[in-house]
Structure 1
Amino acid sequence: MSQLTNDELIQIRRHLHQIPELAMHEVQTRDYLIEVISQMNLEYAEIRDQIATLPTAILVRVNGSDPLRTIGYRTDIDALPVDEQTGLAYASQHPHVMHACGHDVHMTVALGVLNHFLEHRPKDNLVFFFQPAEESQNGGKVAFEQGLFEGKWRPDEFYGLHDNPDLPAGSIGCRMGTLFAGTTEVNVDFRGKSGHAAFPQDANDMVVAASQFINQVQTIISRSINPIESGVITFGLMQAGTIRNVISGSARLEGTIRGLTQVMIERIIERLKQVAAGIASSYDCDVDIQFNQGGYLPVENNPELTKRLIDFFTQDDGTQFIETEPAMTGEDFGYLLAKFPGTMFWLGVNDDSQLHSATFKPDEAAISKGISSINSFLEYRMTN
């Protein structure tokens, strides 16, 4: 295979769009990616797939001509449980599953960059990581913990992108500091004593206890963190009771924490624990609070590498660069950036619909532009 044309890239993206698969089940996607990669010039490349501990992951190493470093590039490959409503001729063929976050675009761009450096041997080594399970199940964290990045597969620095419908097609967006917030699930169980609605003195009402917990939690953001920093606590689910005239002896809350730094998230967690302990004491009940962050740490860009990337794209005539604000959505590339220095950036895809929506239709003009910009940056990085 020679250099992929724009038409070939679009056909690849459309095929990937038709075969979306959920986290850790990306078998058809992996097989298609291997099919495309196997047609490329692999003279200087090594491929790892069918990895026992992460069977849908793919690693491709391009051996550089005179390497000073190994540069990693990551793309996510999973999709979302969304019923597509785009009306596209190449819409998802898998019921109730859609590439509503644009990972089909991410993969196509990665294939285009890989193809370029297989046709034009890079100076430095490159390791491309086609990662399963970004949307759930912590694919990046699992890969790291299972030792996928050891030895010659270990990058000295890591890069990755996410598409952005609010930016012009093909533009590059980035910022110093945090690009994506970290996320942590929080579950709270309250246990008291049920009883008849007419005899509250003989019961211990957990609807009241849970309600007071929620009220007190609202002060964490407003009174316990620096107002020029950002954090979010949302409880989206509350379960309690069985019927109107029975006092509930139990309640459950499920929510999410968002923070732009890991320090912020840990501060919020500590305050939630304190509020829970206070409610338990005040209402003479048991309050069990559990947290699960998994691999969804904040995407905190490395200062030195990010400044170099921004400086390059700002001066590159072929790139429209836009400085962006941080997003409160999560991305598990943050876990890898906690282990390796690196940078995540945006690729504009210009769409009225937002990420994760059933009508999300990224502008395919972004693909070839994104590949060109990334190729130029990586070639620059190899000499700077």
Structure 2
Amino acid sequence: MQLIESILAHSGSVAALRRDLHAHPELCFEEQRTSDVIARALNDWGIPVHRGLAKTGLVGVVKHGDSPRAIGLRADIDALPVTEHNHFAHASRHPGKMHACGHDGHTAILLAAARHLAQHRSFDGTVYLIFQPAEEGGGGAREMIREGLFDRFPMEAVFGMHNWPGLAVGQFAINNGPCFASSNEFRIVIRGKGAHAAMPHNGIDPVPVACQMVQAFQTVITRNKRPIDAGVISVTMIHTGEATNVVPDSCEIQGTVRTFTLDVLDMIERRMQEIATHTAAAFGCECEFEFSRNYPPTINHAQESAFVRRVMADVVGADNVLEFEPTMGAEDFSYFLQEKPGAYFVIGNGDGAHREGGHGMGPCMLHNPSYDFNDDLIPLGATLWVRLAEAWLNTPR
């Protein structure tokens, strides 16, 4: 493993900063303190900072030489609406808010890289350090783009990194093509006619209609979608009724749809609406159908993925660079990759053995209240960022 000595030397202070961020989590578009901490650190290292993109986002600029070439490195900075179960010293001080996905660690990794890049500048061009708010449901990447991120900071490519529990520390994983799915939500309201449950013939019961719909939606996956295409329809909520002896007036169904392509997503939305509308009509009910598209699929670009893989191999050895198995989770880095070439990859967070005494009894998994980021990743992740930026800017296009 080829770690950069200057990054190792300062890893303790950066880990302390990470733990400070963990103790003071802030939700999407509320990351004012977090943004202040990041800006203060960048200013201390002589890095110009541009603030206010998507409310709390900021971009640091490290420039050297005369080359117009530029690369973007991104870290997300927001926390989750989760009540932490850990009780160690740096546990969240704000009930109902927690860094349960490691964005505090991602921020620390990019800050460690920023410090080295600013002090050594072994490249010709510009490195844009993108600290993005509101990844967890707020679409902060989309908002930064809307507010001129790529116009104000023109870059050839953009890259993102996420910690990955279960993958060993010292390993990376990346793939070409789709790596995270699109995230979409649906809401269906079936309107029937209430009645006494002992005399159901006097009403129109929406409950069996909902049951028919839920079963029929799975035929979209098994009979309308090509078997080689990925897609998920999950009904996660059914709300209806208030009493055991009353046929309800209405029934509401909600859930999520995940796909790796927009073509499959278009088909699923169309078929779900047809099934919902016609099933309701067949039983004499009315139907309201809502389908909300949130994050698009995250699709890595081939050349950029191959480039990252080569840099990873130089840092940790080819045997520690694994093929990433695509997940149906979602990530708003997808918006960046729709606008610019680039790649998104993961760094191993280990199995949770790094957690200090007082951690919760749950697993050290993403979005779990017993999770904690592994500080051993900071020098490795920062080394990868530095070597990636240097290799990109020093390699002729």
Q: So what's the TM-score if we normalise by structure 1?
A: 0.93
Query: Given that residues 8 and 379 in structure 2 are in contact (C-alpha distance below 8 angstroms), is that contact kept between their aligned partners in structure 1?
Result: no
Decide which of 16, 19, 28 is 1:14's aligned counterpart: 19
Query: Given that residues 232 and 257 in structure 2 are in contact (C-alpha distance below 8 angstroms), is that contact kept between their aligned partners in structure 1?
Result: yes
Distance 1:58 1:3, change over 3 A: farther
Aligned to 1:144: 145
CA drift at 1:317: 4.9
What per-residue deviation string (whole Å, max 9, x for no partner) do you get for residues 103-143 of structure 1? 01100011112222211223122222111111122111122
CA drift at 1:29: 0.8
Distance 1:165 1:275, change over 3 A: same
What per-residue deviation string (whole Å, max 9, x for no partner) do you get for residues 279-334 of structure 1? 1331222211112223x111100112112222332354567312120111111111
Aligned to 1:135: 136
What per-residue deviation string (whole Å, max 9, x for no partner) do you get for residues 229-251 of structure 1? 22111111111112122211211
Stretch moving more, 310-319 or 321-330 = 310-319
Pairing of 1:279-358 with structure 2 (within 5 A): 279-294=279-294, 296-317=295-316, 320-352=320-352, 353-358=364-369
Which amino acid in the other structure matches residue 38 of structure 1?
N
Aligned to 1:74: 74
Aligned to 1:114: 114
Q: In structure 2, the residue corresponding to 1:67 is in which secondary structure?
A: coil
Query: Given that residues 195 and 248 in structure 1 are in contact (C-alpha distance below 8 angstroms), is that contact kept between their aligned partners in structure 2?
Result: yes
Query: Given that residues 109 and 367 in structure 1 are in contact (C-alpha distance below 8 angstroms), is that contact kept between their aligned partners in structure 2?
Result: yes
Q: In structure 2, the residue corresponding to 1:355 is in which secondary structure?
A: coil
CA drift at 1:81: 1.5
Aligned to 1:123: 124
Distance 1:102 1:317, change over 3 A: closer
Query: Given that residues 77 and 132 in structure 1 are in contact (C-alpha distance below 8 angstroms), is that contact kept between their aligned partners in structure 2?
Result: yes
Q: Is residue 50 of structure 1 aligned with residue 49 of structure 2? A: no
What per-residue deviation string (whole Å, max 9, x for no partner) do you get for residues 50-83 of structure 1? 35xx221111222341324221111111101122
Q: Is residue 270 of structure 1 aligned with residue 270 of structure 2? A: yes
CA drift at 1:363: 2.1
Aligned to 1:104: 104
CA drift at 1:361: 2.3
Aligned to 2:387: 376
Query: Given that residues 7 and 112 in structure 2 are in contact (C-alpha distance below 8 angstroms), is that contact kept between their aligned partners in structure 1?
Result: no
Distance 1:111 1:135, change over 3 A: same
Q: CA separation in 2, counterparts of 1:214 and 1:2?
A: 53
Which amino acid in the other structure matches residue 76 of structure 2?
D
CA drift at 1:49: 1.0
Q: CA separation in 1, counterparts of 2:65 and 2:169?
A: 33
Q: CA separation in 1, counterparts of 2:290 and 2:43?
A: 45
What per-residue deviation string (whole Å, max 9, x for no partner) do you get for residues 209-259 of structure 1? 111110101111122212222211111111111212221121111101111
Distance 1:4 1:158, change over 3 A: farther
Aligned to 2:88: 88
Q: CA separation in 2, counterparts of 1:64 and 1:209?
A: 65
Aligned residues: 377
Q: CA separation in 1, counterparts of 2:258 and 2:116?
A: 37
Q: CA separation in 2, counterparts of 1:186 and 1:14?
A: 37
Q: CA separation in 2, counterparts of 1:244 and 1:273?
A: 30
Stretches of structure 1 lacking an aligned partner (at least 5 in a row): none
Decide which of 21, 34, 38 is 2:39's aligned counterpart: 34
Stretches of structure 2 lacking an aligned partner (at least 5 in a row): 1-5, 353-363
RMSD: 1.9
Query: Given that residues 181 and 258 in structure 2 are in contact (C-alpha distance below 8 angstroms), is that contact kept between their aligned partners in structure 1?
Result: yes
Query: Given that residues 73 and 160 in structure 1 are in contact (C-alpha distance below 8 angstroms), is that contact kept between their aligned partners in structure 2?
Result: yes
Query: Given that residues 191 and 251 in structure 2 are in contact (C-alpha distance below 8 angstroms), is that contact kept between their aligned partners in structure 1?
Result: yes
Decide which of 364, 369, 378 is 2:375's aligned counterpart: 364
Pairing of 1:101-250 with structure 2 (within 5 A): 101-121=101-121, 122-151=123-152, 153-250=153-250
Q: So what's the TM-score if we normalise by structure 2?
A: 0.90
Which amino acid in the other structure matches residue 366 of structure 1?
L
Query: Given that residues 351 and 362 in structure 1 are in contact (C-alpha distance below 8 angstroms), is that contact kept between their aligned partners in structure 2?
Result: no
Query: Given that residues 187 and 290 in structure 1 are in contact (C-alpha distance below 8 angstroms), is that contact kept between their aligned partners in structure 2?
Result: yes
Show structure 1 runs of 4+ deviating over 4 A.
1-4, 315-319
Fraction of identical pairs, as percent? 31
Stretch moving more, 280-289 or 110-119 = 280-289
Q: CA separation in 2, counterparts of 1:285 and 1:165?
A: 46
Query: Given that residues 171 and 366 in structure 1 are in contact (C-alpha distance below 8 angstroms), is that contact kept between their aligned partners in structure 2?
Result: no
Which amino acid in the other structure matches residue 272 of structure 1?
M
Query: Given that residues 261 and 300 in structure 1 are in contact (C-alpha distance below 8 angstroms), is that contact kept between their aligned partners in structure 2?
Result: no
